[in-house]
Chains A and B, each alone.
Chain A
Amino acid sequence: MSPTRKSIAALVAGLVLCAGSAHPGIALTDEEIFRDVPFNLLNPGARAMSLGGAFTSLADDSSAAQANPAGLVTLRRPELFLEIRAQQLDASETNVAGPIVGEFFQGFVSAGALSNPSARVSPTFVSWVVPRRRVAFALSRLESLDVRARTENTFSLVGRQAVVDPLSGKPVPDTFEDIDYDLTADADISAHIVQYNAAFAVELLSGFSVGITAVWGRLDMDGRVDNLFVDNTALPNEPFAEPTLEYATRIDDDDTDLAWTIGVMWRPTEWLNIGGTFRQGLDFTLEERVPSIGLRHRAAQELYGKQFDLVLRTPDTAAFGVSVRPGERWTILVDVVRVEYSDLLDTYRPGLNRLTFPEPTTPFTVDDGTEVHGGIEYIWLARRTPVALRVGAWREADHRIRFGGTDPGFQQVFPEGEALTHYTAGVGVTVKQSIQVDIAVDVSDRSTAFVGSTIYRF
C-alpha cells in the first residue's frame, strides 16, 4: 500500500464506524459488494419461521425435507408444500464527518455509505413428500440466496496532506500540499443460489429415524465494482476534475456443487422430540475479471491477473433441537445452531477493497456463530378446524467480516458487527384435514420478512 493510500485509510478509520451497517458483511474478496451475503439459513415454512426457526426437533411437515430429513417419516400422507417469501433488507445510509490532525493528513474527512437492497418476493421453497411405511422420500427446491443490492462508499478528504519521502515512505516534516479528494466505490451485485434436494428417511426403530438429503446447488452471480477518484482542486479540463475510474472488477458467471445433509430424530415419548442435523455448505467457484479499464487497472491486474477464481463457500451448519409437548395444544421448541461463517474466509482474497487496494495481505477474520432459536405454538379447535398461534425469537450471530490485524485505523474501518435479535410471530389454519395455510413475520433491526406457506395433504 502506498503511503498516501495508507494515510487515507488511517484518516478515515476514525469516521467510518458505521460503514458496516450500511453494507453489511462481506466475503470472497474484500470488495464492498461481498461484505454481507444474506444466506437464507432459516428453516423453511411460515410455521418454522414463526417459531423462531426452531424446527430441527419437530420437522413434522413436508418442510422437513430441508429442516431435518429424519422427520419425514413422521408424515402419514403425501404432501405438497409451497412457500412464498417477501423480504426487505432495510436500506441504510451512514454519513459521518469530522476534523483530523494526523501525521499524514490535517483537515476534514467525511465518509458516506449507502446500501439499497431490493425488496424480493419469490417462491422460495417447494417440496413434495411421499411417505411409505417407515420410509419417506422427498424432492424439494430451495432458494438459499437471492440478493440484489447497490452500494456506494465515498470518502472525502479536504485539508493538507504530507509530502511523503519516496525513499523512506515517511512524511517530510513541515511539508504539506493542499488536497480535496473524493474516493468512491460504486457497486452492485445480483446473486442467486437455488438448491434442488432429494431426501430419504427411514425409521429404524419405533421413534428413532435417520434421514439424508442430497443437495445440488447452482449459483448465478453478476457483480460490478467501479472505484473512482476525484481531485476537487483540479481546474476544469485538468486531470481528475471529474470522477475518474481507477480500477474495476466484474463477475458474470455461474457454478454448481453437490453437498449433503444428514439428520437424526429421536422421539422417546409422545411429548418429547430430539433432533439433530449437519448441513454441508456448497462451494462455488466463479470467474472474476479485472478489466483493462481505469488508470490503475495494471496494478490490479498485476496483483490478481486479468481474471481469477473467486470461491463462495456457503457455511456448514450443525443444529441440535428439543421440542416438548406438555399437552395436546402446546408445543415448545428450542434449537441451537452452529454456523461456520469462517468457511467464508477459506479462500478470502483481500486487496481489492477501495481502502485496502493494492495490499493483498491485509488480514481479515470472521467468527463462527452460535444461534439460539426458540418458539411456542398453541393450537385450539374452532369447531373442528385447528387454528395455531405462534411466537418465537432467535439470535443471529454477528458474521461481518472484519479487519483481523492490530492497526487501529483499519479496525475501525472494518469493524465487527453486532448480533441481531429477530422476533417472529404467525398464525396458521388447517382446513378439512387437508389444506394448511400459515403466515409469519420476522422482524429485526435490519430486515423484515413475511412468509406465507401452504401444505396440501393428499
Chain B
Amino acid sequence: MTGRVRFAVLLAAAVVAAAAAPAVAARGTWYDPYLDGVEALEKGDPARAIELFETALARRPESGYHRTYGTNYIHYAPHAHLALALGALGRCDAALAEIGRARTAGEPEDDPSLAPRLEALAQRCAPAPEPEPAPPEELSAAAIGPSGSPPAAPPPAPAIDRTLLRRGLAAYLAGDLDTATRVFEQAASEAPDSAVAHLLVATVRFARWRADGRRDEALARSVRSALDNARRLDPLLEPPPALCPPELVARWRTLR
C-alpha cells in the first residue's frame, strides 16, 4: 500500500471515528468551563457564567493555584467568580454565601485582584442597617446651638433610582463598561442633584478611559467634569475605595 493510499484509508478512519465520537465523549476538564465562565462574566453574560462555574466546581471543588494543560497554572477561584456572577444578576443572598465560601477557601488572598470586587459586592448586597436609635435627651440638647435654636438640618440627599443603581453596579462589576456608563448617566440625568450619581459617572468613565489606554482626552475631560459636579454637590462625600480606583480617589481629594 502506498503512502497516499494509506493516507486516504486513515483519513476515512478518522471520519468514521469522528462519526462515532459521541460514544467516546468525555467529561472534560475543570478549567475549560472555569475559564469560559470568566470570559462570559467579563462579556456581561452572568447567567451563562453561573452555569459554567457550577460545572467547574462540580469537577474540581478545591480552589487554589492549579495546573491546567502543558506547564500552565491558573488561580482557580470559582466561588469568588460565582459570587460576582450571582451579584450581577441581583441574587444577593446566593452571592453573599459564595463570598463566604470564597473567603473560607482563601480565594481573595490567592488572587488579590478579586478582593476589591468582592468587597464592593459585599457592601452592595449587605442588608440595610437598622435605623439608629434616637439620641438621648442630653446629647440632643448639646447639639442645640447657643442661640437656643436647633442647627439647620442638612438637606436630604437626592435619591437615585435604586434599580438603575443596581443595574449599573452589576454591569460595572462584570466589566461591561458601556452598559454601566449608560445606566449611570441616566441615573445622573434623573437625579441631577445627586453627588453619588455624578461620582459613579466619573468612576465608570475613568474605567473606560483607562481601558482605552489613557488616550482619549475628551473622555478624561468628562471624568473631571463629573467629579467637579459631584464635588460641588457634596464636598464631604467620600468615594468608596472598594469601588473607586485609588487614582480617582486621589484626584477627588485634590479637588477639595
A interface list, Cβ under 8 A from B? 47, 60-61, 74-76, 133, 204-208, 210, 259-260, 262, 264, 266-270, 278, 280-281, 313, 316, 318, 328-329, 340, 343, 379, 381, 384, 386, 388, 428, 430, 433, 436, 457
Contacts and interface: CB of A to CB of B under 8 A. Distances in A.
A205 B71 contact: no
Contacts of A262: 7, 10-11, 14
Contacts of B59: 270
A316 B2 CA distance: 9
A386 B17 CA distance: 36
A343 B5 CA distance: 13
A270 B29 contact: yes
A88 B70 CA distance: 29
9 smallest CB-CB distances across A and B, nearest first, come from: A207-B26, A206-B28, A205-B25, A60-B69, A316-B3, A278-B10, A430-B71, A60-B70, A204-B21
Most chain A CB inside 10 Å of its own CB: which residue of B11, B21, B59: B21
A23 B69 CA distance: 42
Most chain B CB inside 10 Å of its own CB: which residue of A61, A204, A318: A204
A205 B74 contact: no
B3 A264 contact: no
A318 B13 CA distance: 13
Interface stretch (B41-49, B60-68, B152-160, B214-222): B60-68
Given A264-B17, A379-B67, A433-B72, A206 B27 contact: yes
Given A76-B35, A262-B14, A206 B26 contact: yes
B162 interface: no
A369 B68 CA distance: 35
A205 B68 contact: no
Contacts of A381: 65, 73
Contacts of A266: 24, 26
Contacts of B3: 259, 280-281, 313, 316, 340, 343
A266 B25 CA distance: 8
Contact of B73 (A75, A204, A316, A386): A386
Contact of B26 (A60, A269, A329): A269
B17 to A, nearest CB: 6
B256 interface: no
B16 to A, nearest CB: 11
22 contacts: A76-B68, A204-B18, A205-B24, A205-B25, A206-B27, A207-B27, A208-B26, A262-B7, A264-B14, A266-B24, A266-B26, A270-B27, A270-B30, A278-B6, A280-B4, A316-B6, A329-B67, A343-B3, A381-B65, A386-B71, A386-B73, A436-B70
B22 interface: yes
Nearest to A74: B69
Q: How large is the interface on B (under 10, 10 to 19, 20 to 34, 35 or more residues)?
A: 20 to 34
Contacts, number: 97
B233 to A, nearest CB: 44
Contacts of B22: 205
A204 B10 CA distance: 18
A206 B21 CA distance: 9
B226 to A, nearest CB: 35
Most chain A CB inside 10 Å of its own CB: which residue of B24, B66, B68: B24
A122 B66 CA distance: 35
B26 A76 contact: no
B85 to A, nearest CB: 19
B29 to A, nearest CB: 6
A379 B71 contact: yes
Contacts of B36: 133
Contacts of B4: 280
Interface of B: 3-4, 6-7, 10-11, 14, 17-18, 21-22, 24-32, 35-36, 59, 65-74
A266 B4 CA distance: 25
B71 A207 contact: no
B65 A384 contact: yes
A398 B24 CA distance: 37
Given A76-B35, A281-B3, A386-B67, A207 B28 contact: yes
Contacts of B74: 433
A304 B30 CA distance: 64
Contacts of B29: 267, 270
Contacts of A76: 31-32, 35, 68-69, 72
Given A76-B35, A206-B25, A268-B26, A428 B71 contact: yes
Most chain A CB inside 10 Å of its own CB: which residue of B26, B27, B30, B70: B70
B163 to A, nearest CB: 34
A85 to B, nearest CB: 20
Contacts of B72: 76, 386, 430, 433, 457
A131 B67 CA distance: 19
Contact of A433 (B11, B30, B73): B73
A210 B10 CA distance: 12
Nearest to B26: A207
A457 B69 CA distance: 13
Contacts of B65: 381, 384
Nearest to B22: A205
Given A204-B21, A270-B29, A260 B7 contact: yes
B70 A61 contact: yes
A97 B24 CA distance: 63
Most chain A CB inside 10 Å of its own CB: which residue of B17, B25, B71: B71
A381 B75 CA distance: 13
Given A60-B70, A75-B69, A328-B66, A210 B24 contact: no
